Amino acid sequence: MSASILNARNLSKVVDSAEGALTILDDLSLELKRGDSLAIVGRSGSGKSTLLGLLAGLDQPSSGEVQLAGHALSRLDEDQRARVRAEHVGFVFQSFQLIDSLTALENVMLPLELEGRADARQSARSLLERVGLGQRLSHYPRQLSGGEQQRVAIARAFVGQPDILFADEPTGNLDSQTGERISDLLFQLNHEHGTTLVLVTHDARLAARCQGQLRLEGGRRVETLD
């Protein structure tokens, strides 16, 4: 049986508001094994992105616990959580979040260079060729289409061969045809590398390709489809 890579127990997130305490997430638990894929779905404001941030250790829950790659995140300080993310996690965002002053190749090289990897350039080049951008290595983000920028972002996320990849609306800024190609690429790399995928999405077709769906409403799990 595959080992658990992500385990969340009784997660809650409560914040102060002008009207008093506001519960964004309420007593939510989940477990994912290596290679699993999960879509987090629900209306805007249902707590999807908050949950993603808690699972990735970008935010801390008001109560509950997240175990990521064997690390209890609440027991770590901010620097320690950052190291766990650097070693085990990749991210893909709706807005791409590429560095405008770096070429496609340099954007993908960056996480490897921060690790001091001697093979950063070759690994980045190889993965960009793998996602069909071998002729765009020296192009800056402003010279790339939205679909090309998202492919660079995916290459950057996968270049360190993360155990788990978190994607927040990865097809949200793309037309349907380009979004379909990006979905194909995500699941192809998921299959090849055994990377666990956790996707926040409004795209029903993308969600349907995942092994499971977790539906949120008002911060609570209302339906899980396997």
pLDDT tens sequence across 39-52: 999 988 899 999 99
Q: Is residue 39, in this structure, part of any structural domain at all?
A: yes
Task: Tell me which residue of 56, 93, 69, 70 sits closest to 171, measured CA to CA.
Answer: 93
Residue 185 belongs to some domain of the structure: yes
CA neighbours within 13 Å on the CB side: how many for 14?
Answer: 11
- Mean pLDDT computed over every residue of the chain: 90
Q: Is residue 20 assigned to a domain?
A: no
Task: List the beta bridge partners of residue 63.
Answer: 12
Number of domains in the chain: 1
The token duo for 10 is 């009784």
Closest to 126 in 3D by CA, of 112, 115, 114, 140: 112
Q: Is residue 80 part of a domain?
A: no
Nearest to 200 by CA among 93, 98, 76, 65: 93
Does any domain span residue 204?
Answer: yes
Is pLDDT above 90 for 66?
yes
**pLDDT score recorded for residue 224:** 52
Strand spans (E) along 43-150: 63-68, 71-72, 89-93
Helix (H) or strand (E) holding 177: helix 176-193
Residue 127 belongs to domain spanning: 35-59+89-225
The pTM for the full model equals 0.87
Q: Percent of the chain having pLDDT more than 70?
A: 97
The answer to whether 109 touches 136, Cβ cutoff 8 Å, is no
pLDDT for res 1: 42
Q: Label residue 165 exposed, middle or buried (CB < 10 Å: 0-12, 13-18, 19+).
A: buried
If DSSP codes are grouped into helix, strand and coil, which group holds residue 59?
A: coil
Query: What is the reported pLDDT for 2?
Result: 55
113 pLDDT higher than 90: yes
pLDDT at residue 160 in the model: 87
pLDDT band at 223 (very low <50, low <70, confident <90, very high): low
Q: What is the pLDDT of residues 117-136, one digit of tens each?
A: 999 999 999 999 988 899 99
What torsion, rounded to 10 degrees, do the Cα atoms 101, 102, 104, 108 define?
Answer: -140
Residue 163 lies in a domain: yes
Between 114 and 8, whose confidence is greater? 8
Tokens of 74: 């609440």
pLDDT computed for residue 191 by the predictor:
87
CATH assignment at residue 160: 3.40.50.300
CA distance 226 to 224: 7
Residues in contact with 149: Cβ distance below 8 Å, sequence separation at least 6, in sequence order:
96, 98, 141
Helix or strand holding residue 66 (H, E)? strand 63-68
The reported pLDDT for the residue numbered 173 is 82
For 30, 78, 92, 159, 186, the CA distances from 199, given in Å and listed in that order, are: 14, 24, 9, 18, 10
Band of residue 109 on the pLDDT scale cut at 50, 70, 90: very high
Ranges 118-122, 170-174, 203-207, most confident: 118-122
Does residue 213 lie within any of the structural domains?
A: yes
The strand ranges marked E within 116-226 are 164-168, 196-200, 212-217, 220-225
Average pLDDT estimate for 95-102: 93
- Percent residues over pLDDT 90 in the chain: 65
Give the count of beta carbons closer than 10 Å to the beta carbon of residue 142: 8
